[in-house]
């Protein structure tokens, strides 16, 4: 699964980190979401999709695989 974060859209709400903390983190200086891994483990995929769904800024996109 490919994950992208549009840093320009991210508002630093942190919902992605709450839903999938093994995949997402936030930069200390501005709270923008960052990926912790380039390859999403199979068991994390539902959480990553949920993180994309609950992102208030729609800053996270997945290819759905």
What CATH number should be reported for the domain holding residue 43? 3.30.70.20
β partners of residue 7: none
Question: How far apart are the C-alpha atoms of 7 and 59, rounded to whole Å?
Answer: 7
Tokens of 63: 């290819």
Determine contact, residues 25/33, Cβ cutoff 8 Å.
yes
Structurally, how many domains does the chain consist of? 1
Q: Are strands 24-26 and 33-35 parallel, antiparallel or unpaired?
A: antiparallel
Owning domain of residue 54: 3-62
Instruction: For residue range 1-60, list pLDDT tens digits in order.
Output: 889 999 999 999 999 999 999 999 999 999 999 999 888 889 999 999 999 999 999 999
pTM of the model: 0.92
Question: How far apart are the C-alpha atoms of 44 and 46, rounded to whole Å?
Answer: 6
């Amino acid at each position: 699964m490919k994950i992208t974060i549009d840093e320009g859209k991210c508002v630093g709400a942190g919902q992605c980190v709450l839903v999938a903390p093994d995949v997402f983190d936030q930069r200390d200086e501005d709270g923008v979401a960052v990926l912790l891994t380039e390859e999403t483990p199979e068991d994390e995929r539902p959480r990553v999709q949920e993180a994309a769904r609950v992102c208030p800024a729609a800053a996270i996109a997945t290819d759905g695989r």
